[in-house]
Amino acid sequence: MRLSTLLVRLGVFLVAAILCGIGARIIVSTVEARSVEAVEMSFEEHGHEFATVIGDGLQVILEGEAPSEAMRFRAISTAGGMVDASRVIDNMTVTVTDSLQAPEFSLEILRNDSGISIIGLIPAASDHEQLTETLAGLSGEDGNFADFLETADYDIPLDWETSVDFALRALRQLPRSKISVRAGSVAVEAISDSPEQKAQLETGLRRTAPEDLLITLDISAPRPVVSPFVTRFIIDDEGARFDSCVADTAASERRIVAAAQAAGAEGRLGCTIALGSPTVRWADAVTMSIAALEELGGGTVTFSDADVTFVANPGAVEGNFDRIAGELENSLPEVFALEAILPAAPSEISEGPPQFIATLSPEGLVQLRGRVSDDLLNSTAENFARAKFGSSEISMATRVVDGLPNGWAIRVLAGVEALSKLSNGSVTVEPESVVVRGNSGSEEAGAEITRLLIDKLGSSEEFEVDVTYVEALDPIASLPTEEECLAGIEAVTQARKITFEPSSATIAGAGAAILDDIAEVLQRCADLRVEIAGYTDSQGSEDGNQRLSQQRADAVLDGLRVRRVPVSRFRAVGYGEANPIADNETAEGREANRRIEFSLIVPESTEEPTALEQIEAEAEEASEEGATE
């Protein structure tokens, strides 16, 4: 009885063990099949067709030939994302390539007041030592220079040296900059001292950049500090317009301009983005006030920091004005204080108001005429005009009269100062208004005059500013091109010739006056690249003529340097008796051949061949000689 019970239990145990083994095999087979299927589908999705997936129990074996080490690693990572990475067995190989692909060479140069640092990967064949010496020299004796360059032994890419040369030229002009260099492209990020300097730098860098080089310039200028922070918007019979507009951010400018356009302003609109706003809600206040002015039907709203002056046009309906002004006063942010003014309706006046008129001619002649209150104001206005215009060309046609209104002296002097902001124009001062009209080479002149008059007279005073921007008067926009600069030099030297003492490099005769005129032309030309070429006649030895021509070209270069011409981008070259322009057999011909010529340097034509180009040229020359033999 006991034996049969034991046998039954043993049988049950064996049957259970067999069933567990069969179940485990089924589970393992299922996991294996699903793992292989999941990895294969992922490989197909990611483009890893080169890999074969084999299941071995719970392990996933990868076989095949990967085109690169990177592709092999990606395939392993893809498989590890579908199954546990510990189950992935890598049996793949990598295709053997004949040569490794060259890396992308690049530089990044950082320069600030504390020094210069450079980081990147450059070809081993490039002149690393000269590059670091140049940058160390730019950092100065007291500056720091940090070199984090790495080299790789590959051929120098096409346009690499051209890119590096341009980057170094740009770095000399940009004391606070980051310059990124790749073969065929240079990206410049820099900070300038002013918008005028920003325009000069951008113009100069683009002019001197080689044609095939991709240049990206991001030069920023600091935002000006405006005090008081003034915006003035007018709606009258002439239409809606800004006399002055400032904003604290670009987003604020867009909102203010949109409000002005909705109120009927047309044409080119914009605000000066500056520092000095009394609140971050500046745009809210300005846009509310412009909308209120539009609803009123006309008038003037003036912001001077947090003071707001809301003036209706004469004859506005009093009830409507009170309602709109009240709603605006309650809607403005708390920091703003509103003064609402409803002028009385105009009445007939039999006699014209007293006037003071100041005019500035395009030639610089200043004339003051009209009425002044006393001799002290008369002399003060004359002396103030001489100080502001820096000229003795002041014509006085004023008359001292009694009975002028209070504050007349302030209005007269403010008008003279406003006129000094123009290139030419006029200012008319009356008891109830000041009118400024004229032309300027600065796009900000109108806004600057508006801020000046508000500061001197107060935001509630009536004045009109009508200033036209004339590009020809803009010192930045009117900078001459390289070709115009060279044409100016040719005009100076067309009828005159720089001469030297016999067998000497000493400039003789009227040469000094000619250099004065050339220097005057070059002072207006920024970042000009000029070659000063010296030539002689054929008398004397060839070596002696070459040395003499070099000395004479150097003498001209030194003469321009003494006259404070920026000659860092000039070069003096002596060509001796080469390239004659006349017959050396006659005295007249020899005289013509002894000359100094000026020409523009074209960067592409002056580049030295790279080491690789020299090797290729020598190999080609040797091959041609072998074929000839």
For β-strands 106-112 and 115-123, DSSP reports them as antiparallel
564 — alpha (psi -120 to 50), left (phi > 0) or beta?
Answer: left
Q: Return d(Cα 124, Cα 132) in angstroms, integer.
A: 14
Cβ–Cβ < 8 Å for 181, 171: no
Residue whose entry in the numeric block shows the structure tokens 């010739």: 497
Cβ–Cβ < 8 Å for 429, 394: no
Tokens at residue 218, please? Answer: 């991001």
Q: Return d(Cα 190, Cα 201) in angstroms, integer.
A: 10
The fold for domain 28-98 equals Histidine-containing Protein; Chain: A; (3.30.1340)
Residue whose entry in the numeric block shows the structure tokens 């064949």: 125
Amino acid at 6: L
DSSP codes joined into one string, 359-403: EE-TT--EEEEEEESSHHHHHHHHHHHHHHH--S-EEEEEEE-S-
CA neighbor of 412 nearest in space, from 375, 370, 446: 370
Q: Return d(Cα 287, Cα 548) in angstroms, integer.
A: 72
Residues of the chain with CATH 3.40.1520.20: 106-220, 356-473
Q: Return d(Cα 35, Cα 60) in angstroms, integer.
A: 7
Model confidence over 440-477: pLDDT tens digits?
888 888 888 988 888 888 888 888 899 888 877 776 66
Residue whose entry in the numeric block shows the structure tokens 């206040």: 285
Q: Return d(Cα 415, Cα 367) in angstroms, integer.
A: 13
Q: Return d(Cα 127, Cα 113) in angstroms, integer.
A: 26
Residues of the chain with CATH 3.30.1340.30: 28-98
Amino acid at 224: P
pLDDT at 471: 78
Tokens at residue 499, please? Answer: 């001469």
CB-CB neighbours of 457 under 10 Å: 17
pLDDT at 21: 67
3-state DSSP percent of the chain in helix, strand and coil, to 5:
40, 25, 35
> What DSSP character marks residue 472?
G
CA neighbor of 156 nearest in space, from 186, 126, 121: 126
Q: Return d(Cα 403, Cα 584) in angstroms, integer.
A: 84
Residues of the chain with CATH 3.30.1330.60: 482-606
Q: Does CATH place domain 106-220 in 1.20.1440.230?
A: no
CB-CB neighbours of 211 under 10 Å: 7
Amino acid at 76: I
pLDDT at 612: 44
SS (H, E, C) 252-277: HHHHHHHHHHHCCCCCCCCCEECECC
Residues written for the chain = 629
Written out in words, the top-level CATH class of the domain with range 356-473 is alpha beta
Burial 368-378 (b: 16+ CB within 10 A, else e): bebbbbeeebb
Q: Return d(Cα 93, Cα 137) in angstroms, integer.
A: 51
> What DSSP character marks residue 526?
T
The fold for domain 482-606 equals 60s Ribosomal Protein L30; Chain: A; (3.30.1330)
282: Cβ contacts below 8 Å, ≥ 6 apart? 229, 247, 248, 252
pLDDT at 477: 64
Model confidence over 330-347: pLDDT tens digits?
889 989 999 988 887 665
Model confidence over 45-79: pLDDT tens digits?
888 888 888 877 778 888 888 888 878 888 888 88
Tokens at residue 401, please? Answer: 């009269």
Parts of the chain with a pLDDT under 70? 1-3, 8, 11-12, 15, 21, 23-28, 31, 96-101, 345-352, 391-392, 475-479, 526, 603-629
Say how far residue 616 (Cα) sits from the centre of its chain: 40
- For residue 185, the cross-strand partners are 182, 214
CA neighbor of 114 nearest in space, from 85, 136, 142: 142
> What DSSP character marks residue 473?
G
Tokens at residue 456, please? Answer: 């001197």
